[in-house]
Structure 1
Amino acid sequence: MREGAFGPEGLVLGPDGLARPAWAANDPLLREYYDTEWGLPVRDERGVFERLSLEAFQSGLSWSTILRKRPAFRTAFLRFDPDAVAAFGPADEERLLSDAHIIRNRAKIRATISNARATVALRASRPGGLAALVWSYAPELMPAPRTLGEVPTRSPESEALARELRHRGFRFVGPTTMFALMEAIGVVDTHLAGAHRPHPRAASR
């Protein structure tokens, strides 16, 4: 397979000789994200809350847009410390709406603040809090996609997780968004066969 070409597996060979899925093949920022972060296990509360928040902001936008704005998001939302964001009030909401470096969407900003409060509240009723709850929906059987067309966009587990999170007061947590979250933090493994990245769970053993 020549550089930049699509193989039968739906992978693209990069200039470094490594095969990646098309979404991670061309943009340097997405390539670095795929190589160093996507699909690797995230099990701490702050890390899961950040990813959940960014997935919500991504709705209707490209992930590359979110990655480019992530440093500004981290500054604006105090590195996604749930306790700090849960304490945000009307003045903080207006501050965020005037910040041109992030996504200025009132509904998503309010949802992030509301989700921080739900994350804090979850500690009292769910051992391990948000991270443990999300990881409890890891499937028994992993997808084994060979092409991008075989990668699902939702699953019974992501649908059940979305229902529970909504029941617990979370917003912007639909089943497709939750499946993307589960992929991003290693709960679900959808690496294509033949990609250079190893199975994240195998790599962590």
Structure 2
Amino acid sequence: MNRIIKIAGQVGESVLSIVGIRVGTEEPHHLRRPLTDGVEIRQYGPRIAAETTVAGEKQAALNTGFRRLAGYIFGGNHHDTEIAMTAPVSQQSAGQDIAMTAPVSQTGSAEDGWTVRFFMPSKWSMETLPKPDDDAVRLVPVPAETVAVLRFSGDRGPRAVAAATERLHKALRDNGIEAVGEAVAWFYDPPWTLPFRRRNEVAVPIEA
């Protein structure tokens, strides 16, 4: 009976994700303030991420990286944890729970490879997270940072991300703020979410 209830809940959450409703997905804690109508400044504390680097075309690398990291939280770890898909990704197990927080992060280039990250829930530490079975998956500490973020919906392919990045850089220039790192693309919704309901973001590190 419990299994039926869990499956029903997962199906319901997947249906909700079609229209961009995320259920039970933790986001890394942050403080924020508006910069313009479409851009805000966020301060994030230290986090932990599972990451992998994939060569090739950007969208294909995102898909490959997503599957590789999902393999980790779906049980490809030294604790053999069982995980079930929710929206966008979460885990159910009799013992430990590893859930992916939103967003999924992607940065890099075709020459150097694309790094895809799943941020781990705040309850975990480097000492308590199970070690990945796949050597291509790494657990890394992510230091505290201040970023400027622009949110957009719809297409999240390379051209859309590049256009959003340019809008973000223009907003920073217009406000006399200098970027101190490369732009990162953040995706909050699964591929089946209706494009106009998707939450996509580009973030650029700035001075605290």
Between Structure 1 and Structure 2, the one with more strand by share is 2
> TM tier, shorter chain?
0.3 to 0.5
Q: Structure 1 length normalisation: TM-score?
A: 0.32
Between Structure 1 and Structure 2, the one with more helix by share is 1
Q: Structure 2 length normalisation: TM-score?
A: 0.32
